[in-house]
Structure 1
Amino acid sequence: MKAPALFLAHGSPMLAIEDSAYTSFLTTLGKQMHPKAIVVFTAHWMTRQPTVSSIAGTYEMIYDFSGFPRELYEVTYAAQGSVEWAKRVQHHLKHVSPIVNIDERRGLDHGSWVLLSRLFPKANVPIIQASVVPSWTPKQLFQLGEALRPLRDEGVMILGSGGTVHNLMALRWDEQTKADSWAVAFDDWLLAQSSAHSEDVFHYEEKAPYAKQAVPTQEHLAPYWIAYGAGNRSPHVLFREYEYGNLSLLAVSF
């Protein structure tokens, strides 16, 4: 059975320890999926060339954030790597990138473990962590995902972990529930153009409303393009909410 291609917002690291409608959704979603392995492209691993983790055994935890409760730094998730699947991923990515590096040391960052701990709490699925290359164009990142489509036929899930609207300077920490109109407008445009398979979507910086406000830096949107390429279908919205006014918790399958 073909495994899914997903883009999931990883929101705040607090998702790992605080229950919400989104964490309930993630738990339910995980119970519905049974992949043989997962390739997770995380916005918190940025490199100049595509890089794939090749871990024999258990990943170390990376707590790549500060200022959160001590409880969050005590979370552990015993994700298992796979050298064999890492080689397969590298092989497919080399169809579109002459250089695909292997990393045998890096641990699992919170862009990966926050989501995975909710989706697969038993940590019983091999994980291949992969970097994003923010300097690449959206179309190049789409093609990177495209190269991994054959793995989905073998039961490998492709997961992009990031955020479509991710502007930490614009967050309203009073936790008002009403979403900012500019954040909603950007996501509306992104989903509409992706559904239409319009080339305009790859030029969102010039064409999308509030693009600079929604995407001040590229790394959190980069996993969206990869997941889109891995699926190349119209996005099906699985969940959509906004935290702190404009932090998008958008989850889509392709």
Structure 2
Amino acid sequence: MIPSIFLCHGGPTLVVEKNEYTDFLKDLGKKLTPKAVVIFTAHWESEITTISSMDDTYDMIYDFSGFPKELYSIKYPAKGSVEVASKLKSMLGNNGIESKFNENRGLDHGAWDVLYLMYPNATIPVVQVSVNPYLAMEKQYEIGRAIKELGEEDILVIGSGSTVHNLATVDWNSTKVEEWAVEFDNWLIEKVENNDKEVLFNYRETAPYAKRAIPREEHIVPMFIAMGCGNKDKPKLLHQSYVYGTLSYICFEF
């Protein structure tokens, strides 16, 4: 049995940084050794849940601009898995959730930057999945519940997004963490650890600074999917740190 996890993927520079979060991700990869990874990424949006279905090596998507040139030469030559993609689609369908395949999309940085640090040899098959930020959080949770049994097959489900993701508040030169960002995260952590799902589903109305922390919901959606997919009775915070004033690095185990 392997848990599901939620990770903050941060900025594209994460793969070339050295800090407590990158050290954490490297260590986490040594502790979790799945036979495949299914990753829901905030950087792939579609109305219908879309699943990468391929056995070949993924192309790289550098879905950012204005960053150091070295980032555009990063390679993560992971292969896909038609078998795992088909299993995932079947599970969703059995629970009344529509999905479709995509046979040519590359890996975006919501997927490759965390996987690059966790599994640098790129030997574990990866299936990338889209999110729909316009669905209610209850529906996101249900997507996770539909594929909960993947953990019993040692397939790791990762939700890759962010809890505080407001680029307008990021200060690339700051070493001081903004209190409002921590207050939002601490509220979120308490509710997650207490399994207070109904309050979490309505976080935009109940959490402090919610709309400031998450102006658009695509980055928090993967957390609710990972939560639904969890096999643990009590979710657990594995890591919490910050960079650039407000950019949150949190990891939950579900």
Length-normalised TM-score, structure 1: 0.96
Q: Counterparts of 1:15-34 in structure 2 under 5 Å?
A: 15-34=14-33
Letter in 1 for 2:114: L
* C-alpha contact 2:52 2:85 (8 A) present in aligned 1: yes
Tell me how far apart the structure 2 counterparts of residues 59 and 21 of structure 1 sit (CA, whole Å): 29
- The reply on whether 1:121 has 2:127 as its aligned counterpart is no
Letter in 1 for 2:34: P
Tell me how far apart the structure 1 counterparts of residues 52 and 240 of structure 2 sit (CA, whole Å): 30
For residue 153 of structure 1, give the secondary structure of its aligned residue in structure 2. Answer: helix
- The reply on whether 1:247 has 2:247 as its aligned counterpart is yes
For residue 156 of structure 2, give the secondary structure of its aligned residue in structure 1. Answer: strand
Name the residue aligned to 1:111.
Answer: 110
* C-alpha contact 1:39 1:128 (8 A) present in aligned 2: yes
Name the residue aligned to 1:174.
Answer: 173
Tell me how far apart the structure 2 counterparts of residues 133 and 95 of structure 1 sit (CA, whole Å): 19
Mean Cα deviation higher: 14-23 or 80-89:
14-23
Name the residue aligned to 1:213.
Answer: 212
Name the residue aligned to 1:187.
Answer: 185
Tell me how far apart the structure 2 counterparts of residues 217 and 97 of structure 1 sit (CA, whole Å): 26
Tell me how far apart the structure 2 counterparts of residues 201 and 168 of structure 1 sit (CA, whole Å): 23
- Counting matched residue pairs gives 252
Mean Cα deviation higher: 228-237 or 139-148:
228-237
Name the residue aligned to 1:137.
Answer: 136
Tell me how far apart the structure 2 counterparts of residues 239 and 114 of structure 1 sit (CA, whole Å): 17
Runs of at least 5 residues in structure 1 that lack an aligned partner in the other structure? none
* C-alpha contact 1:180 1:246 (8 A) present in aligned 2: yes
| Cα deviation, residue 196, structure 1 | 2.2
| Cα deviation, residue 195, structure 1 | 2.2
Q: Structure 1 60/20 Cα, relative in aligned 2: closer, same or farther at 3 Å?
A: same
For residue 171 of structure 2, give the secondary structure of its aligned residue in structure 1. Answer: coil
| Cα deviation, residue 201, structure 1 | 0.8
Tell me how far apart the structure 2 counterparts of residues 80 and 100 of structure 1 sit (CA, whole Å): 21
Tell me how far apart the structure 2 counterparts of residues 211 and 189 of structure 1 sit (CA, whole Å): 10
Q: Counterparts of 1:52-67 in structure 2 under 5 Å?
A: 52-67=51-66
Letter in 1 for 2:164: V
Name the residue aligned to 1:197.
Answer: 195
* C-alpha contact 1:31 1:119 (8 A) present in aligned 2: yes
* C-alpha contact 1:16 1:114 (8 A) present in aligned 2: yes
Name the residue aligned to 1:4.
Answer: 3
For residue 240 of structure 2, give the secondary structure of its aligned residue in structure 1. Answer: strand
Superposed CA RMSD in Å reads: 1.1
Name the residue aligned to 1:44.
Answer: 43
Q: Structure 1 87/236 Cα, relative in aligned 2: closer, same or farther at 3 Å?
A: same
* C-alpha contact 2:51 2:102 (8 A) present in aligned 1: yes
Letter in 2 for 1:205: R
Moved over 6 A (4+): none
* C-alpha contact 1:165 1:187 (8 A) present in aligned 2: yes
| Cα deviation, residue 97, structure 1 | 4.2
Identity rate of aligned residues, in percent? 45
For residue 91 of structure 1, give the secondary structure of its aligned residue in structure 2. Answer: helix
Mean Cα deviation higher: 217-226 or 20-29:
20-29
For residue 114 of structure 2, give the secondary structure of its aligned residue in structure 1. Answer: helix
* C-alpha contact 2:97 2:143 (8 A) present in aligned 1: no
* C-alpha contact 1:191 1:235 (8 A) present in aligned 2: no
Runs of at least 5 residues in structure 2 that lack an aligned partner in the other structure? none
Tell me how far apart the structure 2 counterparts of residues 204 and 16 of structure 1 sit (CA, whole Å): 30
- The reply on whether 1:235 has 2:244 as its aligned counterpart is no
Name the residue aligned to 1:94.
Answer: 93
For residue 153 of structure 2, give the secondary structure of its aligned residue in structure 1. Answer: coil
Name the residue aligned to 2:147.
Answer: 148
* C-alpha contact 2:42 2:218 (8 A) present in aligned 1: yes
For residue 200 of structure 2, give the secondary structure of its aligned residue in structure 1. Answer: helix
| Cα deviation, residue 193, structure 1 | 1.5
Letter in 1 for 2:136: T
For residue 219 of structure 1, give the secondary structure of its aligned residue in structure 2. Answer: helix
* C-alpha contact 2:159 2:223 (8 A) present in aligned 1: yes
